Structure 1
Amino acid sequence: MRVPANAEFMYLSGSGASPMEDGTWGDMAQQTRDTFNGFKEKLEAEGWSMSDIIQVRAFAVSDDNDFLDFDGFNTAYREFFGTEENPMKPVRSFVEIEDLVVGGWLIEIEVRAARVP
């Protein structure tokens, strides 16, 4: 991916899902969807959009059954990127780690966005 020299950047640090009404966190797809919805709200509040995202880094843990649900991540990811509304497909990394700071999180995501003013 190439970014013009005169681009401005926005970095959104590691974020994860919010607990659902029943206190649970949901599966990987739900948590990924919730996290990207949070990024969407933050970007739009600043006048940016999801199509400005150029990089996604995801740190994931296995569930209680030692299952790392990469398909669940991809299912939710494809709702935001490579769509008719947002054809952008940012570069991305998906890394399995041992644990995350927030109990219940299966995924923590950070993004980098760029645009020419």
Structure 2
Amino acid sequence: MTFFGSPPSAISSSVDVPQNYNRLLFSGTVPPLERYRNTERQAIGILETLKADLKTKRLSLADAIHLRVYVAPDPNHGDKPDYQGWFDAYALFFNSKENPVKTARSTVGVQSLVSPDYLIEIEAEVAYKNISKSKNEQ
């Protein structure tokens, strides 16, 4: 895969996925501990859930290419979306020494999510090399 964008940016502006890659789409994932009223903690919980799910598929967050993130108003931040909390959580999992991948990403402020306890919801797209071909075709 080829990631495009500004080197100092925490995210990529676009990602080119080769034809021989499979794509895996994750529905919107909500926090495992929704009652914990903190956007950053909820985001960390979601990314840990995604990381664990990917591991069961023999993949990792390094295979993530795009995140779509919905951030709802946070009562602890003047009833405004806590974008910085989300950005801080993202930095723990991406564009780091452990995982240098900088996903393409959309972050959208929304009025509410399906539960008033949810402050953030994340959709993910993952791409991984198609290994179903015979060794002669690789």
TM-score between both structures, scaled by the size of structure 1: 0.92
**What amino acid does structure 2 have at the position aligned with 1:14?**
G
Percent of residue pairs bearing the same amino acid type: 31
The 8 Å contact of residues 18 and 25 in structure 1, kept in 2 or not, is answered as no
Name the residue aligned to 2:125.
112
Structure showing greater relative contact order (alpha-carbon pairs closer than 8 Å, 6 or more residues apart): 1
Q: 1:67 is matched with which residue?
A: 80
Q: Provide the C-alpha distance between the structure 2 equivalents of 1:18 and 1:48, rounded to a whole number of angstroms.
A: 21
Question: Which is strand-richer, 1 or 2?
Answer: 2
Q: Distance in 2 between matches of 1:15 and 1:72?
A: 17
**2:116 equivalent to 1:81:** no
TM-score by length of 2: 0.79
Whichever of the two has the greater Rg, that structure is 2
Deviation at 1:19, TM superposition (A): 2.0
Q: Distance in 2 between matches of 1:102 and 1:51?
A: 30
Q: Provide the residue aligned with 1:30 in structure 2.
A: 41
Q: Of residues 106, 116, 135 in structure 2, which corresponds to 1:93?
A: 106
2:53 maps to 1:46 = no
Q: Deviations over 1:16-38 (max 9, x none)?
A: 11227xxx323010000000000
RMSD, aligned CA? 1.1
Structure 2: gaps of 5 or more residues: 1-14, 131-138
Q: Residues 3-14 of structure 1 correspond to what in structure 2 (within 5 A)?
A: 3-14=17-28
Which runs of structure 1 show a deviation greater than 6 angstroms over 4 or more consecutive aligned residues? none
Number of aligned residues: 114
What secondary structure is seen at the aligned counterpart in 2 of 1:13?
strand
Q: 1:25 and 1:57 mapped to 2: Cα distance?
A: 22
Aligned-partner residue type, residue 13 of structure 1: S
Paired amino acid for 1:33: I
